Amino acid sequence: MSFLSETLSRVKPSPTIAVTQKAAELKRAGKDVIGLGAGEPDFDTPQNIKDAAIAAINAGKTKYTAPDGIPELKEAICAKLKRDNGLDYTPAQVSVGTGGKQILYNALMATLNEGDEVVIPAPYWVSYPDMVLLAGGTPVIAEASIQTNFKLTADQLEAAITDKTKWLIFNSPSNPTGAGYTKAELKELTDVLLRHPHVWVMTDDMYEHLAYDDFEFCTPAEVEPALYDRTLTCNGVSKAYAMTGWRIGYAAGPEKLIAAMRKIQSQSTSNPCSISQWAAVEALNGTQDFLAPNNETFKRRRNMVIEMLNEAEGISCPTPEGAFYVYPSIAGCIGKTSPAGTKIENDEIFATALLEESGVAVVFGAAFGLSPNFRVSYATSDENLKEACTRIQKFCAALT
Ligand SMILES: Cc1ncc(COP(=O)(O)O)c(C=O)c1O
């Protein structure tokens, strides 16, 4: 009998972390590697937020808190949801966790039974299917195509829903594609959900504030108020506020579900870090002025990366609405051979060869459920991005 659980055998380690580790190993070995794998902004946490954390430490706010968040943060979250999304929630409908990841995990743990299905549009954030498996559910992957800029159509959603479907996990703007659904596109999906009253929506709005051009963010309960009673609106401060290390995420939804999530959290992590919670209060209530200049930087980088990748032979890269990722297709490179003799049979081989032969670390598309593609995170300096894209162009040009 194995010492390790059967549940564990169903999941795999995060491929994005594996790529980051491989790149770090090569760097340590003295190789010149540029990492485009990181899922976090290269900006520092804004000073007012750091100051709030320091003030919290000095004021002795260093003890256990209520399991799913201090009242001040819950109030700030309710105010944010009203201000940005037009959604009315009370503090009893809000749960704060140790990062967006724990919030999603708590919700799945609190609701899934064996046999329950969760519809996950692909390309998806790598953790969704594995979290569903850990919670005992069955991921049902609904593949979107590059032709619709990686957005799921109503027919695709309809086809993925069965009597066993418990949740749809929705993520816009998306990791890994950056795709953001317009209100009209989202309405087509919520119309499908109206026809299936047993299906709940877990919307992961983590990249809400990272949107470019004239894209207007929208979230399911806002677009279709009739879904309010079966929507869990999830968000966090990690990405927009450059607070990935602080580990604060949150969700709002029906009180019964929030209470169930609290029960899970109270028996696992007790509560998110007290100091980080006070920092998050400032993030949500304080100035939002840094968002616009940060987004200008991201937009400039996005445009440069797209232009340079589209100039690479065999690569085609759509323009996404948000986040800090692009998800180019390498269909034109498949079947070719690199100067070192690697036959590019799929996107995993492409990414490995690109790392080993040209020193650029990207995450291969199969990890996100749609091939042949790769993900570039442009949350790094212009200089790094320019050099990395030049290397990708040279690598592709040398394929025969
Ligand atoms: C789509 C998406 N949701 C959730 C998370 C998790 O965020 P956190 O760092 O707050 O746990 C990430 C982080 O990469 C993400 O990309």
Is residue 321 included in any domain, yes or no?
yes
In terms of Cβ atoms closer than 10 Å to its own Cβ (0-12, 13-18, 19+), residue 1 is exposed
* Spatial distance between the Cα atoms of 129 and 381, rounded to a whole number of angstroms: 31
Note whether 259 and 248 are within 8 A (CB): no
Does the beta carbon of 129 sit less than 6 angstroms from any atom of ligand 1?
Answer: no
Do residues 198 and 158 both lie within one domain?
yes
Report which ligand 1 atom has the smallest distance to the Cα of 102. Answer: 11
The residue whose CB lies within 8 Å of the most ligand 1 atoms, and thus the one to mutate among 40, 125, 368, 375, is: 125
Is residue 52 included in any domain, yes or no?
no
List, in sequence order, every beta strand (DSSP E) within the chain. 34-35, 94-97, 117-122, 138-143, 165-171, 200-204, 231-236, 249-252, 325-326, 360-361, 363-364, 374-377
The residue whose CB lies within 8 Å of the most ligand 1 atoms, and thus the one to mutate among 239, 243, 244, 325, is: 239
- The residue among 269, 285, 301 that closes a domain is 285
Do residues 153 and 280 both lie within one domain?
yes
Which pLDDT tens digits describe the chain residue by residue (400 residues)?
A: 689 998 888 888 777 777 888 888 898 999 999 999 888 999 999 999 999 999 999 999 999 999 999 999 999 999 999 999 999 999 999 999 999 999 999 999 999 999 999 999 999 999 999 999 999 999 999 999 999 999 999 999 999 999 999 999 999 999 999 999 999 999 999 999 999 999 999 999 999 999 999 999 999 999 999 999 999 999 999 999 999 999 999 999 999 999 999 999 999 999 999 999 999 999 999 999 999 999 999 999 999 999 999 999 999 999 999 999 999 999 999 999 999 999 999 999 999 999 999 999 999 999 999 999 999 999 999 999 999 999 999 999 999 9
CATH code at 125?
3.40.640.10
Do residues 300 and 280 both lie within one domain?
no
Written as six digits, the tokens of 209 are: 């504030």
Q: In this predicted structure, what is the pLDDT of residue 38?
A: 84
CATH code at 304?
3.90.1150.10
Does the beta carbon of 235 sit less than 6 angstroms from any atom of ligand 1?
Answer: no
Identify the residue whose C-alpha is closest to ligand 1 atom 7.
100
Distance spanning both ends of the chain, measured CA to CA? 50
**Centre of ligand 1 from the C-alpha of residue 206, in Å:** 6
For the chain, the domain total comes to 2
Do residues 153 and 243 both lie within one domain?
yes
Cis check: omega of the bond before 173, within 30 degrees of 0: yes
Do residues 84 and 222 both lie within one domain?
yes
Say how far residue 158 (Cα) sits from the centre of its chain: 23
Does the beta carbon of 204 sit less than 6 angstroms from any atom of ligand 1?
Answer: yes
Is residue 49 included in any domain, yes or no?
no
Do residues 303 and 271 both lie within one domain?
no
Q: What is the pLDDT of residues 160-202, one digit of tens each?
A: 999 999 999 999 999 999 999 999 999 999 999 999 999 999 9
- The residue among 285, 311, 344 that closes a domain is 285
The torsion defined by the Cα of 373, 378, 383 and 388, in degrees rounded to 10, comes to -10
Greatest Cα pair distance in the chain: 64
* Secondary structure element (H or E) that encloses residue 302, with its range: helix 291-310
Is residue 106 included in any domain, yes or no?
yes
Identify the residue whose C-alpha is closest to ligand 1 atom 16.
175
Identify the residue whose C-alpha is closest to ligand 1 atom 13.
39
Do residues 110 and 259 both lie within one domain?
yes
Do residues 183 and 40 both lie within one domain?
no
Is residue 87 included in any domain, yes or no?
yes
Written as six digits, the tokens of 399 are: 């394929």
Three-state SS for 145?
coil
Do residues 304 and 280 both lie within one domain?
no
**Centre of ligand 1 from the C-alpha of residue 342, in Å:** 34
Note whether 334 and 345 are within 8 A (CB): yes
Q: In this predicted structure, what is the pLDDT of residue 1?
A: 67
Do residues 67 and 195 both lie within one domain?
yes
Written as six digits, the tokens of 57 are: 């430490």
Report which ligand 1 atom has the smallest distance to the Cα of 236. Answer: 10
327: amino acid identity, one letter: Y
Do residues 173 and 241 both lie within one domain?
yes
Q: What is the pLDDT of residues 73-102, one digit of tens each?
A: 999 999 999 999 999 999 999 999 999 999
3-state SS record for 49-79: HHHHHHHHHHCCCCCCCCCCCCHHHHHHHHH
Is residue 1 included in any domain, yes or no?
no
Q: Is the dihedral of CA 202, 207, 208, 214 positive or negative?
A: negative
Does the beta carbon of 244 sit less than 6 angstroms from any atom of ligand 1?
Answer: yes
CB atoms within 10 A of CB 215: 16
**Centre of ligand 1 from the C-alpha of residue 40, in Å:** 9
Does the beta carbon of 171 sit less than 6 angstroms from any atom of ligand 1?
Answer: yes
Does the beta carbon of 236 sit less than 6 angstroms from any atom of ligand 1?
Answer: yes
Is residue 368 included in any domain, yes or no?
yes
Do residues 38 and 12 both lie within one domain?
yes
In terms of Cβ atoms closer than 10 Å to its own Cβ (0-12, 13-18, 19+), residue 327 is buried
325-326 vs 249-252, strand pairing mode? unpaired
Say how far residue 102 (Cα) sits from the centre of its chain: 13
Is residue 50 included in any domain, yes or no?
no
- The residue among 241, 261, 285 that closes a domain is 285
Q: Which domain covers residue 137, as residue numbers?
A: 63-285
